[in-house]
Structure formats: C-alpha cells, structure tokens
Amino acid sequence: MTHKICMTEDIPEREARAFDNDKGETIFVTQRDGMFYAYKNLCPHLQVELEFLENQFLDQDQEFIQCSTHGALFNVETGECISGPCLGESLQKVELRIHSDGGIYLS
C-alpha cells in the first residue's frame, strides 16, 4: 500500500522537508539533480533526530545531510556517513515512488 506524503514541487532542489509516515515516524525527503531521496529522521550514532531547526537537514553548503547533534555528514544519494562519529554507518533509507501526477508516495 502506498501513502502520499507530498508533491514534487514541495521539495525544492537542494532542500529537504520532514513528514510523518503512517507509522508515526518522521522521515525527510530531499532533492538532488531532479532525483528524490528519503530517510528516517534518525542519526545512526545516538538515535537522535538530525535537524536542530525545522527542515534543516543539509549542511551550510547544501551538499550533505548533516546531524545537528555532532556534525556527522551523510551522502545525499546513499545515506552513508562520510564524516563524524558514525563513519561507515548509514541513514535508514525510505523507498519512494514518484507518480505521473507529481505525487511522492511511500512504497
């Protein structure tokens, strides 16, 4: 069963937005070069939410996903930690489907 969370135009390029899934968990969606990526809002290091301010999931240059608690950096496309205390671990990916109407759905 799929669950619509937003429309593609709701996620600007190199920005991210948080949503609650149907299990009550917070996920976030980000866009990079027209592709959409979603992850659970949970750092693998301390199991804390990533953002300090609402929808602030990316670093200052909007190149990487950043944990506001300890500064770990994660690759947008893979979720892999490339810098910080959880090096080599990854964010938990959430599968998405983009429908022809522009809707973004959880798989």
Q: Which fold has domain 3-106?
A: Rieske Iron-sulfur Protein (2.102.10)
Element (H, E) at 73: strand 73-74
Q: pLDDT (tens digit, 9 = 90+) per residue, 50-77?
A: 998 999 999 999 999 999 999 999 999 9
Round to whole Å and give the CA distance between 69 and 51: 8
- pLDDT value at residue 2: 74
* Rounded distance between C-alpha atoms, residue 89 and residue 33, angstroms: 24
Cα 89 off chain centre by: 15
Closest to 5 in 3D by CA, of 26, 33, 34, 31:
26
- How much is the pLDDT for 35? 97
**pLDDT for residue 69:** 94
The CA distance from 93 to 30, in Å, is 12
pTM of the full structure: 0.94
Q: Which residues of the chain have pLDDT under 70?
A: 1
